[in-house]
Amino acid sequence: MYKPGQLEKKQLRKIQAQTMLGMALLWCVAVQVPAAEDRALWSLGPLRLEMPKQGAAIDVFLQQALDAQGLQFSPPVDRRTLIRRVTFDLIGLPPAVTEIDAFLADDAPDAFPRLVDRLLASPHYGERWGQHWLDLVRYADTAGNSGDFPVPTAWLYRNYVIDAWNDDRPYDRFVREQVAGDLLPSGSLAERQRNIIATGYLAISRRFGVEEKQFHLTIEDTITNLGLAFLSLSVHCARCHDHKFDPVSNEDYYALYGILQSTRYAFPGTEVFQSPKDFVPLVSEQEIEAVIRPFEQQVKTQDEEIERLRQLTLTIPPGGERDEAVVDYQQAQQKRVELLEAAPQYLKAYAVAEAEAMNAKIHIQGDPHDLGVEVPRGFLSFFGTDHVITDASDSGRLPLANWLTSPRVQPLLSRVMVNRVWQHHFGAGLARTPNDFGVRGERPTHPALLDYLADRLIVHDWSLKWLQRQVLTSAAYCQAGDWRLDPSRRERSTKIDPDNALLWKFPRRRVSAEELRDTILLLSGELDRAAGRGHAFPPEHEWKFGQHTPYIGSLKSRHRSVYLMRQRVKRHPFLATFDAADPNVTTGQRGESTTALQALWLMNNPDFHVLAEASARRLLARNDGLHGVLKSAHLQLTGHPPGEVKLQWGMDYLREAGIVQDRLPVGDSGVAAVASYLRVLMSSNMFLYVD
């Protein structure tokens, strides 16, 4: 019997591996691993095209499925609900009362398609849809390591994403830029800068621990996100062994690992090395050579001296010599601070660049200290025999970007993105596991429709705005919720299709955390519609963050919520309360909770009280009496005027609050009463849900 202290490290690993293998086998039995003949992946095959013979393609496919179950679409939705629905969906803000009135008065047959085009052309479109992408790639303005170091220029990537959606950047180009933008040809310095910033997708991978040597965890995080975001495949499951279900081998994983290991990520700083480095300058090559490289060499030399002195303080015994070394170490650090204070000023991107090209060795059981055979850099072998990089002189990111967008992979890449767009308009994708197109994911409810749209997206030059026009102008999108159905039809439809998988009604949804905050700011007149930029982080030379003293930022802003500072260690309290994405992990689909904290926030939060009072003052300034205030409040918040019953409820509420005459005073008592009513209205389902 060995005692723990007598076992060698590799023996311990062997026992751990055997234990893990035993547990995996038990788990496989428990979940009933599919037989080999059942494991063919629908998502990896070619697009199976079934062209509709007549009518709007989306509706034809959906109607066929409804007919098979004896179901039909719900009646068309009223125009007030429709404009509120599509405006929130495309720009994340409610329509203005004047916009509603104009749409109601427009009797032209193309009134709704023109409304869709106007919203797609809005700069706020990119802010709304860019947020969906930022959820997916787990965007944050801090690094996530033990000190959660700030990343002052992460916002450049965030704004790149917003601009890409606004510009309708072809999706395949969007993918290539994020993986290898710095390696793509560019026709101008501006395009070159944009391409570099795009690789912030790789740079924002989460950092771990207190030392740079733990970087393997960051590479693992990158591979996880790359597999899920672009391909909806759990490639990361092959880190320790071949994937148990999907055709991803252990060698495939380390073929990708080698590409990223050959890539230099910008370094945000760690507890033992406080200052950032390797950010990519966004200036001309001439300025880099003349100013930046000499300065970087000075910093590098000083860093090497600091590390030498640090090691010296750790290795020599206490005494006079060590005390001198400590003093020298402190002086060297101070010299570095002074060097940084005099640094040349230029914009630098949190991005990646080429590093020394090398193949990775397999980490046995995922342990980076127990290495196996070397694996050539490359892509997933399932997609063909040409998946290995033949040029050993570069990282392989450009071939990786080309593989991801190659004809062999395009069906999967397009299916995944079509499914994501569909999900954000209908609440659920045609395949309801948007981040898992593998064996364990759900198969699509309408496979022919998914493949048709995936093919058309490719044909239309990967234009996501084209795709959205097709979705939004369909009868399926323009139908009402089940509240328009007679009770017997609603009961029968619900019994046949309780999950609404066949889309016999339009599914209502709650406004997102960002939409809620932005709408409240908008009503109060406090919303700053300008594009946000960076954040007021402390100067780099003052950073002293660590495991027990991490960076914690609470930065106020009146910009749209997409521009708020997103921190990994400490989430934004309002966004977290209302189910915004966790920036530590990829979020393909947000959860939706209903908690007492949400109601308490809307009724009691001091910031919300201030905004409600500002909204009340605006309403009082525009209206002469109770009726006008109440009608304006309902129109702005719900898109609908209040009925007689709701109007009377509002009148009674304001009178109970101390207002007894119809003509409201603009003083404190009037403001307090109306603000109180607004808080009630903003807590109601009429406001919080989009029908």
Q: What is the pLDDT of residues 241-300, one digit of tens each?
A: 999 999 999 999 999 999 999 999 999 988 888 778 899 999 888 888 888 888 888 888
Kindly report, residue by residue over 375-394, the tens digit of the pLDDT.
Answer: 999 999 999 868 898 877 89
Provide the pLDDT for residue 664.
55
Which pLDDT does position 26 carry in this prediction? 43
Domains of the chain: which residue ranges? 283-346, 600-690
Please give the backbone phi and psi of residue 67, each rounded to the nearest 5 degrees, phi first: -60, -40
* 171 close to 229: Cβ distance less than 8 angstroms: no
Highest mean pLDDT among 34-48, 243-257, 530-544, 612-626 belongs to 243-257
pLDDT band at 41 (very low <50, low <70, confident <90, very high): confident
DSSP 150: B
Higher per-residue confidence, 100 vs 55: 100
pLDDT of residue 29: 39
Cα–Cα distance list, 441 to 26, 433, 453, 585, 658 (Å): 21, 6, 20, 19, 57
Q: What does the buried/exposed string (b/e) look like for 653-690 if buried means 16 or more CB atoms within 10 Å of the residue's CB? A: bbeeeebeeeebeeeeebbbbbbbbbbebbbeebbbeb
Q: Is the dihedral of CA 414, 417, 420, 425 positive or negative?
A: negative
Whether the CB-CB separation of 468 and 120 falls below 8 Å is answered with: yes
Average pLDDT over residues 511-516: 96
Distance CA 605, CA 573 (A): 11
User: What are residue 363's phi and psi, to 5 degrees?
Assistant: -85, 110
Q: How far is CA 364 from CA 13, 217, 241, 251, 493, in A?
A: 9, 15, 8, 11, 53
CA dihedral 87, 93, 94, 97 (to 10 degrees): -100
In three-state secondary structure terms, 265 is: strand
**Residues of the chain above pLDDT 90, percent:** 67
Question: Cβ atoms within 10 A of the Cβ of 542, count?
Answer: 10
Provide the pLDDT confidence category of residue 28 given band limits of 50, 70 and 90: very low
CB 394 within 8 A of CB 262: yes
Would you say residue 584 has pLDDT above 70?
A: yes
When comparing pLDDT for 444 and 291, which is higher?
444
- The pTM of the full predicted model, rounded to 2 decimals, is 0.89
Q: In the prediction, which pLDDT does 666 show?
A: 56
Rounded to an integer, what distance in angstroms lies between the CA atom of residue 316 and that of residue 304? 18
For the packed helices 596-604 and 606-622, what is the interaxial angle rounded to 10 degrees?
50
The pLDDT of residue 512 is 96
pLDDT band with cut points at 50, 70 and 90 for residue 175: very high
Banded model confidence at residue 35, pLDDT cuts 50, 70, 90: very low
Pairwise CA distance, residues 597 & 251, whole Å: 47
Query: pLDDT confidence of 1, banded at 50, 70, 90?
Result: very low
Estimate the share of the chain in helix, then strand, then coil, as percent rounded to the nearest 5.
55, 5, 40
Enclosing H/E stretch for 218: helix 216-231
Average pLDDT, the chain: 89
Q: How far apart are CA 60 and CA 66, in angstroms?
A: 10
Query: For the chain, how far is it from start to end, CA to CA, in angstroms?
Result: 67
Name the residue type at position 301.
T
How confident is the model at residue 302, as a pLDDT? 87
Distances (CA, A) of 494 to 78, 491, 499: 22, 5, 8
